[in-house]
Every structure is written in C-alpha cells, then in structure tokens.
Amino acid sequence: MAKLVGGICCSHVPAIGAALDLGKTQEPYWTRVFSGFEKSKEWFRQMKPDVCIVVFNDHATAFSMDIVPTFALGCAAEFPPADEGWGPRPVPVVKGHPQLAAHIAQSVINDEFDLTVVNKMEVDHGLTVPLSLMFGQPEEWPCPVIPLAVNVVLFPPPSGKRCFDLGKAIRKAIESYPEDLRVVIFGTGGMSHQISGPRAGLINSEFDKAFLDSLAGDASYAKDIKHVTYMREAGAEGIEMVMWLVARGAMDAKVEEKYRFYTVPASNTAVGHIILENAA
Amino acid sequence: MAEKAIPNTPQKEYADIPGTFVFDADRSAQGYAINAFCMTLLKAENREKFKADEAAYLKQFNMNEEQTESILKRQWNRMLELGGNIYFTAKLGATDGLSFQQVAAKMTGMTQEGYAEMMLKGGRSVEGNRSKAEWEKKNG
C-alpha cells in the first residue's frame, strides 16, 4: 500500500526562483534564504519519496478569470513550466503520476470533495519554486509530482478547515492505493505578505510563528483562522497559508517537527518552512 | 452592471482593512477585461504588440475609459480598485521589466530603495495597520 511519509510546508516566492535561475544564490541576501533549505535537501535524500503531492496556487497562469476552480488536481502525465511574463523558468518538465492522481480524484470525490480534474496544465512558480528549494537544480526532478491547485486568488479561497479536511481525505486515498509508494505532501505559499495596494510590505512574524507552532501541534488554532484574520494580520496575500493546512490535515493528529526555518524577507515575503513526520 | 452598487448589501467584514483591495467576486466581475488583457501578456509576441501601440492594443478588450487610462498611465492601485488583480497586473509589470517588488513599491508610494529597505528591516509592521480607523488617526 502507498504510505504518507512526511509533510513539508514552505513559501513559494517567485524571487527565490529568479535568484536561483539567475545564479544569485551566493549573494548575502540570498544565502540567508537558501541556507535554510540545506537540511531539507538532506531530509529528502534520506526520505526518497516515490511521489510528491504539491499543494500550490496558480498565479493567473493556467487559470485566468474565465474558470476559477477551488481545488484542481493535476492528473496529466506531465506539466510544463509556464511563461509568467518573464519567460519560462529553466527547470525540468514536471512529470505527473496519472494513476495515483486519478485514484486520489476518485477517492476524494466519493468522499464529497468535489474537486476539478485537470488533464492539461502549465505550472508556474507556485509549484516549481518549492521543488527547486527541495531538490536544487537537477536535470530531472527526482520523482513524479501531483499538483493540487487551490484558488487563493479570487476571494474567498476555501476555508482553512476545508483545506485541512481535504488533506484528511487525500490521506485516506493514499492509503487505499495498492502500490507500495512513499508519498510526501507539500503545502506551499505564505507566510505573511502583502504585495498589493498601499499596505504592501506587511509582515507579521508573530502571526507566522503562532501558525508554525500550531502546525507542529494539533493545528486546532490554525485550521480555524478566518479569512479576514489572515488578511488583516498576515497581509492580503498571506491568506495563501490555508494551503499549508491541506498538508497538515493529511498528517496524523500527532506529528513530530523535524525541522523549521524562518526568515524575513525574500522580496516582499516572510519565508517559512517546516518539516513534519507522523509521530511514532 | 457590476459597477452599480447592490442595494442592501451588508458591509463586507474585510472592507475595514486599510490600503487593501480585496479581489472578490464584485471586483472580478468589474475587472474582467483588465485581467483578460493582462493574461494575453503571457505570450512574448503579445507583449511586443502591446508595447508597439498600447492604446490600439487595449481596444481589443471591453474596458471602460477609466480602466484603459489606469493601464496607460500605470496607475497600479487604480487598476486594482477597478477590478484588476495583482497576479494579473504583475504581468503588465513584467512587460515593463518590473519585478513583483518593484510593482509593490509603486503601490505604496515609496521609492524602490525605501521599500526594499523597509523589507530588509522586517517589513511593514501590522501595528497601526490593521484597520482604516488606525490609518485615519495616523493621518488625521
């Protein structure tokens, strides 16, 4: 049977991708950020996942305002990196896992999560920056990836609790898949940031720390945070943190925090990162 | 249609957040054309066409005059107020060679250097920036 071996959450700031792609990782500004992910790379080398499920949001790349799915699961065999206006990131094509993805789609829909199935999708920095942070700059990504796009662009996104519960349903789906696969789930986005309007630049480290603490615990505080609270306290775009709750919901009620990293800023954003394993 | 106030609409609970244009269904309906225009800038050939004659290019989209003006004059906050979304308008920024941080700086009214320095020092504090009342007190 497939098994969920870990959950990781991290920010997906586009400037991190640009810094990597333009060879700026040795600049002091960026070594501060990238040094926080060295341990994560090591964790992945030891963990050797067969598949990663990456919960991310599309930033007006695959989805315009024509169609805005709340949850969209990528079931294709591959997902090309998108041109977001600066040219596509020079990263490998993301290979999917259509069989497991189809199984997850069926399982969670039967569990009353009416998600959208996507068979063709280009992926933007929301998905590829976390992969770069965890895997560096390889010729090929080390394992197939199942993208789960969550709408956080058009208000309202799904609630934190809904995201958490979807995570639980995904866990159930993973554990009912017959092949022995080691699966890691990513929650991405955040942490506090606002990139729009006169209040842009907002950062709230106290909020972020309480959120990380809650994820490392039972997440009962984090999953009930209201949308307006995210926006007021963690910035209009800080609401992306609901996506971390999908990953947390997929994990056991009791988790062990393996690693944590937090720094301000990367461009406009507080960078947070946590690695969780199910408590033994 | 979308621009008419809907009678008896309850106050949105997020309307009190200062300096913030929440991109909700009303703004999405109002700004569909702005965002549709921005999406076309994902293609390099369209970026070239737009740069060659901005006003002519914008005529393809069903924007009102204010929306067109906000784009031509690069009024970044006004675009959001009229229904643009930051992830879409950032593509206009990219077409102009601006990063997300440069676009953000413009919306705050700060210089790029001043904004970058504020971020390096830990960003804009949430203290005094939670509600419009706090902003009014500060500026009053």
Is B136 found in the same domain as B74? no
DSSP secondary structure of A154-198: SSPPPPHHHHHHHHHHHHHHHHT-SS--EEEEEEE--SSB--SST
Give yes or no: residues B114 and B63 share one domain. Answer: no
A200 contacts in chain B (CB < 8 Å): 19, 104-105, 107-108, 115, 124
- Strand ranges, E, within chain A: 3-10, 51-56, 71-74, 78-79, 94-95, 116-118, 145-150, 182-188, 255-266, 269-278
Place of tokens 């947390």: A248
Please report the pLDDT score of residue A85 as a whole number. Answer: 76
- Return mean pLDDT, chain B: 93
Q: Residue B7 pLDDT more than 70?
A: no
Say yes or no for a CB contact (<8 Å) between A14 and B100. Answer: yes
**Cα–Cα distances in angstroms (integers) from residue A166 to residues A109, A245, A253, in the given order:** 10, 9, 14
Domains in chain A, ordered, with CATH? 3-278 (3.40.830.10)
- Strand A145-150 to A182-188 pairing: unpaired
A248, A276 in Cβ contact below 8 A? Answer: yes
pLDDT of residue B32: 98
What number is the average pLDDT over the span A127-144? 97
Q: What pLDDT does B139 receive?
A: 78
Judged by average pLDDT, the poorest of A85-89, A123-127, A227-231 is A85-89
Q: Which residues in chain A have Cβ-Cβ distances shorter than 8 Å to B32? A: 65
**Positions of A marked catalytic:** 125, 193
- Indicate whether B54 and B91 sit together in one domain: yes
Q: Which of B21, B23, B107 has the CB atom closest to A154's CB atom? A: B23
Encode pLDDT of A155-197 as tens digits: 999 999 999 999 999 999 999 999 999 999 999 999 999 999 9
Stronger pLDDT, A159 or B11, i.e. the higher one: A159
Is A15–B100 a contact, with Cβ atoms under 8 angstroms apart? yes
CB B87 within 8 A of CB B105: no
Question: Is the pLDDT reported for residue B8 higher than 80?
Answer: no
Whether B23 sits inside 8 A of A15 (CB atoms) is no
Tell whether A22 lies on the interface with B, counting CB pairs under 8 A. no
Task: Look at residue A280 in the predicted model and tell me its pLDDT.
Answer: 81
Task: Indicate whether B35 and B83 sit together in one domain.
Answer: yes
Does residue B11 lie within any of the structural domains?
A: no
Q: Do the chains contact at A267 and B99, CB–CB below 8 Å?
A: yes
Output the pLDDT for position B6.
Answer: 52
To the nearest whole angstrom, how far is the Cα of A150 from the nearest Cα of chain B? 15
Q: How many domains does chain B have?
A: 2
Whether residue B114 is found in the same domain as residue B92 = no
Query: Is residue B2 scored above 80 in pLDDT?
Result: no
User: Which chain B residues are closer than 8 Å to A156 by Cβ?
Assistant: 24
CB within 8 Å: A85 and B91: yes
pLDDT digits (tens, 9 = 90+) for B17-39: 999 999 999 999 999 999 999 99
> Does the beta carbon of B104 lie under 8 angstroms from any beta carbon of chain A?
yes
Judge whether B2 lies within some domain: no
Name which residue leads in pLDDT, A149 or B2. A149
Residues B42 and B73 in one domain: yes
Say yes or no: A268 contacts chain B, CB-CB below 8 A.
Answer: yes
Angle subtended at Cα A166 by Cα A277 and Cα A212, rounded to the nearest 5 degrees: 45
Percent of chain A with pLDDT strictly greater than 70: 100
Q: Which of B47, B108, B126 sits opposite A200 (nearest CB)?
A: B108
Q: What is the pLDDT of residues B95-129, one digit of tens each?
A: 999 988 999 999 999 999 999 999 999 999 999 99
Determine, yes or no, domain membership for B16: no
How far apart, in whole angstroms, are the C-alpha atoms of residue A117 and residue A47? 29
Report yes or no: A109 at the B interface, CB cutoff 8 Å.
Answer: no
* Residue B30 belongs to domain with CATH number: 1.10.700.10
Tokens 């929440």 appear where? B22
User: Which percentage of chain B shows pLDDT scores above 70?
Assistant: 92
CA A115 to chain centre: 17
Candidates B20, B91, B93; nearest CB to A236 = B20
- Position B87 in a domain: yes
pLDDT tier, B5 (very low <50, low <70, confident <90, very high otherwise) = low
Structural contact between residues A13 and A57, judged by C-beta atoms closer than 8 angstroms? no
Cβ within 8 Å, pair A236-B22: yes
Query: Which among A82, A196, A203 has CB closest to B21?
Result: A196
Given the DSSP bridges, would you call strands A71-74 and A116-118 parallel, antiparallel or unpaired? parallel
Contact A233 B94 (CB under 8 A): no
pLDDT-based confidence at residue B1 (cuts at 50, 70, 90): very low
Judgement on whether residues B55 and B79 belong to the same structural domain of the protein: yes
Same domain, B89 and B128: no
Number of A–B residue contacts, CB under 8 Å = 156
Does residue B41 lie within any of the structural domains?
yes
DSSP A254: S
Q: What is the mean pLDDT of chain A?
A: 97
The ipTM estimated for the assembled molecules is 0.94
Which residues of A, range 48-107, sit inside 8 Å of B by Cβ? Answer: 59-61, 64-66, 82-87
Name the residue facing A201 among B86, B95, B123 (closest C-beta): B123
- Give a yes or no: residue B12 inside a domain: no
Cβ within 8 Å of residue A179, ≥6 positions away: A1, A2, A99, A100
In terms of domains, do B90 and B51 share one? yes
Q: Give the range of the structural domain holding residue B121, as residue numbers without chain letter.
A: 110-140
The stretch A139-166 carries a mean pLDDT of 98
Pick A197's closest partner by Cβ from B19, B28, B43: B19
Answer whether A139 touches B (CB < 8 Å): no
A chain contacts of residue B113, beta-carbon cutoff 8 Å: none
Residue at B7 is within a domain:
no
* Cβ atoms A142, A46 nearer than 8 A: no
Residue B91 is encoded by which pair of tokens? 């593509």
Does any domain span residue B119? Answer: yes
Percent of chain A at pLDDT above 90? 97
CB atoms within 10 A of CB A144: 21
Q: Could you tell me if B92 and B116 lie in one domain?
A: no
Q: Binning pLDDT at 50, 70 and 90, where does residue B138 land?
A: confident
| Angle, helices B86-95/B44-52, rounded to nearest 10 degrees | 70
Domain shared by B31 and B79, yes or no: yes
Asked if A122 has any chain B CB less than 8 Å from its own CB, the reply is no
Same structural domain, B43 and B90 = yes
Q: Do A207 and B126 touch (CB under 8 A)?
A: yes
